[in-house]
Copies of this chain bind each other. A is one copy, B any other.
Amino acid sequence: MSPKITTELLKQLRQVMKSPRYVQEPVQAYIVPSGDAHQSEYIAPCDCRRAFISGFDGSAGTAIVTEQHAAMWTDGRYFLQAANQMDNNWMLMKMGLKDTPTQEDWLVSVLPEGSKVGVDPFIIPADQWKRMSKVLRSAGHNLVPVKENLIDAIWTDCPQRPCKPLITLDLSYTGVSWRDKIVALRTKMAERKVFWFVVTALDEVAWLFNLRGSDVEYNPVFFAYAVIGMNTIRLFIDGDRMMDPAVRDHLQLDTTLEPEFKIQVMPYGSILTELQAVSAGLSPKEKVWLSDKASYALTEAIPKAYRYLTPYTPICIAKAVKNASETEGMRRAHIKDAVALCELFNWLEKEVPKGSVTEIIAADKAEEFRSQQKDFVELSFATISSTGPNGAIIHYKPVPETNRTLSVNEIYLLDSGAQYKDGTTDVTRTMHFGTPSAYEKECFTYVLKGHIAVSAAIFPNGTKGHLLDSFARSALWDCGLDYLHGTGHGVGSFLNVHEGPCGISYKTFADEPLEAGMIVSDEPGYYEDGSFGVRIENVVLVIPAETKYNFKNRGSLTFEPLTLVPIQTKMIDVSLLTQKECNWVNDYHQKCREVIGAELERQGRHEALRWLIRETEPLIRAQ
């Protein structure tokens, strides 16, 4: 990788930072955050402004350009990549290291007195604006919103904002109609005495209207906002997508409806002026609800006294609890996904010894098998296909420069998933196609013990996911080992593979309590730098647990694995398992045989079926 030469671009940016055509008054610094106007984790090419200006295209990073300097803040995952991708116009600010200043502190240290710091108010979340603005103000500077995005001003060949056709999901997939979702949302609004709700996250718009899109790779969402009143529904969306008869029919745009269910379709770009109009008409006590992570631009459009901000919206919370149709869809998707992986692993077992399978070929083959399955839409994230030392790079994605050939001498880690019309998958298996060393088996078995400890955990209703994180680490900790990432994230139902508001992590963020119907991943790991990586990941469904007693009538919960792909028994040191753990593995494999075996049979995939049977032979533990 050679760095992007940014001298000319930075010169142009510094010009527009002073140009009255773009800014009311010159700005002495300009901030380029990672996100889009919806605070999405995955963004469209047209929103990759930070990558455009700097060359650094990792998933997290913030660029700040002043008249003299250009600096990039990113975290430990990307120190090396950022250093390789950026030329020496850029200073790398390594977040998490002791001596690295915060963006605000750095700005204060380099800016001339009374400076103006510009930022696109649509890109910066309101909570971040508040924090930054406070520090700058107390040092005599000002954070100012710059309406026109200054990167867009110099990005002559900026790709168009995608505007792909929509997919409508009927009740068999969603379980609840968009009308009923609106009714439920209005009930929540009434409970909180809120009159308006602004939907800003793309997956929340998609979920609310039972629509899907493909504007962003891996995430089946589309660019839109919605503003829900007690008697009105406004959907802000561009293009001719609303001309599609299926969409018009789905949204009942041409039907005579009660006025409170009549959807007014408006241009995507009119959200701000419409929100300002709504705000202008508010009577006292008519509050407007939005996420505290919504953009500064939209938040500011609502006078402070009328704002009702929460970390999680009622849509985010409702979306996390899957109904019976969604759960059944997720089950179906995971069965198909397991079929594809059985095919893949059977194929790898034969091909790897020949020395012709690279990480990229394996990833492509995984996609090929998945694409043969019904209702396959696309992958749910970039496949992590890594062997040997590449497996220790947690967010690895094979590229030609790093592409390694799979062999019988190295561990292979595959973290992959897909979007099917009935559900989203995300599964990691770690395999050895030769003979693993005792140490590799030992590490794998500790990770497996952690995986089982979470999967089999029983815990009271209302427990937050972060309280389960240590269960996943206990076996590793006992031997002085650990892994430096969380244990699980929420998973959407044919939606984003990472979604809030629940998760399993040592980081104590404001996670919502787990409840039956939520779906999370369970993915402990162990990574030995320069050597190998192990991760075992299932997607699991929160279900009620039967317990002997029932303290304070609270009820208990546990997990049911939706992922049904064999865990390579060759990698397990059975002597390190308890009988209970051994039984868990055998029960799990028995279920894989029954459920996936039947589907392989149905699809006539007999060789993969034989592989499945072989891989699910019960473990036997010496007493």
Contacts and interface: CB of A to CB of B under 8 A. Distances in A.
A529 B602 CA distance: 55
A556 B467 contact: no
Interface string A461-499: 000001111110010111111100000000000000000
A477 B506 contact: no
A218 interface: no
Contact of A467 (B460, B479, B506, B549): B506
A356 interface: no
Contacts of A550: 480
A548 interface: yes
Interface in A199-255: none
Contacts of A466: 508
A457 interface: yes
Interface string A272-307: 000000000000000000000000000000000000
Contact of A479 (B481, B482, B549): B549
Interface residues of A, number: 30
A176 interface: no
A532 to B, nearest CB: 14
A479 B477 CA distance: 25
Interface in A156-179: none
Most buried by B among A470, A471, A506: A470
A470 B454 CA distance: 12
A471 B551 CA distance: 18
A458 interface: yes
A251 to B, nearest CB: 37
Contacts of A476: 551
A301 to B, nearest CB: 21
A504 to B, nearest CB: 11
Interface string A79-90: 000000000000
A547 interface: yes
Contacts of A545: 480
A420 interface: no
A56 interface: no
A547 B478 contact: yes
A236 B294 CA distance: 50
A261 interface: no
A433 B476 CA distance: 41
A470 B465 CA distance: 11
A459 interface: yes
Nearest to A459: B477
Contact of A480 (B480, B481, B551): B551
A556 B480 contact: yes
Most buried by B among A478, A479, A480, A547: A480
Nearest to A580: B578
Contacts of A471: 470, 474
A464 to B, nearest CB: 8
A622 to B, nearest CB: 14
Interface string A19-31: 0000000000000
Contacts of A578: 578
Most buried by B among A482, A548, A552: A482
A516 to B, nearest CB: 15
B467 A551 contact: no
A31 B293 CA distance: 36
A153 to B, nearest CB: 38
A546 to B, nearest CB: 9
Contacts of A479: 547-549
A224 to B, nearest CB: 34
A458 B470 contact: no
Instruction: Give me the 9 closest cross-chain CB pairs, A-B, nearest first.
Output: A480-B547, A508-B508, A480-B549, A479-B548, A481-B551, A480-B550, A467-B470, A482-B551, A459-B477
5 contacts: A459-B470, A460-B480, A470-B470, A480-B545, A481-B549
Interface of A: 457-460, 466-471, 474, 476-482, 506, 508, 545, 547-552, 554, 556, 578
